[in-house]
Amino acid sequence: MKFMKLGSKPDSFQTDGNNVRYVASELATDIVVNVGDIKFYLHKFPLLSKCSLLQKLVASADDGSDEVHIHDIPGGASAFEICAKFCYAMTVTLNAYNVVSTRCAAEFLGMHETVEKGNLAYKVDVFLSSSIFRSWKDSIIVLQTTKSALALAEELKLTSHCIDAIASRASADVSKVDWSYTYNRKKLPEENGNDPTWNGVRTRTVPKDWWVEDLCDLEIDLYKRVIVGIIKKGIVSHEVIGEALKAYAVRKMPGFGKGGIQFSDVSKARTVLDAIVCLLPTERGTVSCSFLLKLLKASILVDLGETAKKELVKRIGQQLEEASMSDLLIPSQDGEKTIYDVQIIRKILHEFVMRDQNDVSELEDGEEIKVARQPGILSEASKLMVAKLVDAYLAEIAKDPHLPVSVFVDLAEMISSFNRPGHDGIYRAIDMYLKVHPGVSKSERKRICRLMDCKKLSVDACMHAVQNERLPLRVVVQVLFFEQVRAAATSGSSTPDLPKALKDLNSVSHGSSRSATTNTEEEWDAVASAEELRALKGELAALRLGNGSLSERNGGDSRSHHDKAAVNKMKGLLMTKKIFSKIWSRKEGGGGHGGENSGSDSSESLGSTNIIEEAKSTPSRRGRHSVS
């Protein structure tokens, strides 16, 4: 820390109790200066020769009184004592902690060059410009002390000079940074003593954000002015500015980095958040989406203004593909029934979708897209990442028993236009919602299941769906059909020739609101019974065993390959017709209780007897069929 000593005489100021100061001298004191509650017994000559204010006060005193009162002097009694000692030429030490109060007190007392050459105000100014403003940490300390006399410090331009000095240092080329700074966020091997090659000589490169932590000691109003000063110089990158804002948020708001935000002073937290949002760089990607979501969560918690929250929602929507599911779990405000604030996520997703539409419009304008877009923005990969993110979010909020069907469906439909190769994520979300909300109506269940495209389910998801008692029978049959089609395509066969009713069922496109088989609409939308699921599961097992046996024989006799494939295709086709015809005939049988038992028994018999026997058939038996 820089310091300056003034004067050469020993300090002879004495204290008598808590409220009396005097100079130990052979000469009797002839003036009493009251500064607040403290009385100073001093001598007129050394004081009046350097302080124009005391000259005026003594001259205007009534009846030649030797007692004067000084009110509102910056720095109080301690700053006045330094000024008084300077007048006596006693030794005083100025440093970063007392230089501002001393300079303001000297200004208040009128200790200028016009009164006496080499007066205190001039010497303090020299010390500030030659030492303090050239020291990184001293400048920060001095800036903090300006709060005690902010108005006068602003008038003397002490604050602005200090801010400019800090901004200039922060903007300096890192190769020229040779002063000390605080950097604990990412310890380097040589700092931890873990680098065996380090010989004590500093050879590493100074990080670009070396100044970030030291500025976190500032209060938000001064911090904001310093960051604005750094931005105006245009040297520090926007990414480093974003990192600085993140570090400040973590320092000033306990728990912010871990998502569990705690506020002891809501008003102060609101001020900090508002300033950080205002300082965020406008360029996309300069701060992480996770940081933006944490800011939004904190803003909702402290009820920040709508303007700031809208800005955060817009920024998050511009880079939503970077977010993680846990960051989207924003708790609802008091009074809401749902666990999480789904509406704010809906607004964010809307911004992402609108960003897609806006960029498409820019693309139509020609060359503007080269400026407006960054590489990879709104690519199919970005849409896929957002789709997976929303699927995971839906699966989590589906656990909320108070989540309405309309909210769940509306959020899922916002990304329905995104081309996804797989629908396992939305299937998991649907299954979780149906599990937690068993009381949903048939129409609601049908609406939910339309969010899923059965053709895009993986093998594991198909196996799970066929056994899922929460799904409507229509969906289960569709899943089995597409699994049959996929198995046939894998083995080189054509699409199975299923009964017309099932073809009509399959012809219903993903997201359609109506099936072609209107005569049994209610039955198909009903939840599948256990017997129906066992029958369909058996059919799927038989299909897989058949295809597995075929794959094992693919390396055998190539001459009979096509014959074997044809025979297996016919067997699978015959079995499919049998199982589906049984289920279909039960559905069309009038829906009576006796008919249901009969259909269930038949399906179970098919699933447990015929299919098992077919699955156990030996390769030689299959071969004989192929030859015949």
**pLDDT tens per residue, range 100-129:** 999 999 999 999 999 999 999 999 999 999
Q: What is the dihedral of CA 434, 437, 439, 442, to 10 degrees?
A: -30
Statement: residue 279 has pLDDT above 80: yes
Phi, psi torsion values for 590, nearest 5 degrees: 105, -15
- The 3-state DSSP class for residue 118 equals coil
Q: Looking at 99-113, 346-360, 393-407, which range is the least confident one?
A: 346-360
Do residues 412 and 426 touch, judged by C-beta distance below 8 A? yes
Counting residues of the chain whose pLDDT is more than 90, the rounded percentage is 53
- Apex 438 CA angle, 437 and 439, nearest 5: 90
Which spans in 367-472 are helix H? 369-372, 380-397, 405-413, 424-436, 442-449, 459-466
Distance CA 315, CA 311 (A): 6
Which residue is it, tokens 């007897």?
609
Phi, psi torsion values for 381, nearest 5 degrees: -65, -40
pLDDT digits (tens, 9 = 90+) for 595-610: 333 333 333 332 333 3
Q: Mind giving me the DSSP string for 222-237? A: HHHHHHHHHHHHT-S-
Number of Cβ within 10 Å of residue 1's Cβ equals 11
Higher pLDDT, 580 or 355: 355
Distance CA 374, CA 174 (A): 28
Distance CA 419, CA 384 (A): 7
- pLDDT, average across residues 477-485: 83
pLDDT for position 265: 80
**76-87 vs 99-109: helix crossing angle, rounded to 10:** 70
Which residue is it, tokens 């000469």?
27
Please report which confidence band the pLDDT of residue 533 belongs to, taking 50, 70 and 90 as the band edges. Answer: low
**Tokens describing residue 37:** 């509650």
- The 3-state DSSP class for residue 35 equals strand
Do residues 109 and 56 touch, judged by C-beta distance below 8 A? no
pLDDT digits (tens, 9 = 90+) for 289-301: 999 999 999 999 8
pLDDT for position 419: 85
Distance CA 532, CA 600 (A): 7
Higher pLDDT, 505 or 303: 303
Distances (CA, A) of 347 to 344, 520, 624: 5, 39, 65
- pLDDT, average across residues 378-404: 92
Statement: residue 7 has pLDDT above 60: yes
Question: pTM for the complete prediction?
Answer: 0.75
pLDDT for position 624: 31
177 DSSP β-pair partners: none
Do residues 96 and 67 touch, judged by C-beta distance below 8 A? no
Neighbour-count burial of 406, counting CB atoms closer than 10 A to its CB (0-12 exposed, 13-18 middle, 19+ buried): exposed
Statement: residue 172 has pLDDT above 60: yes
Please report which confidence band the pLDDT of residue 223 belongs to, taking 50, 70 and 90 as the band edges. Answer: very high
Statement: residue 409 has pLDDT above 60: yes
Statement: residue 81 has pLDDT above 90: yes
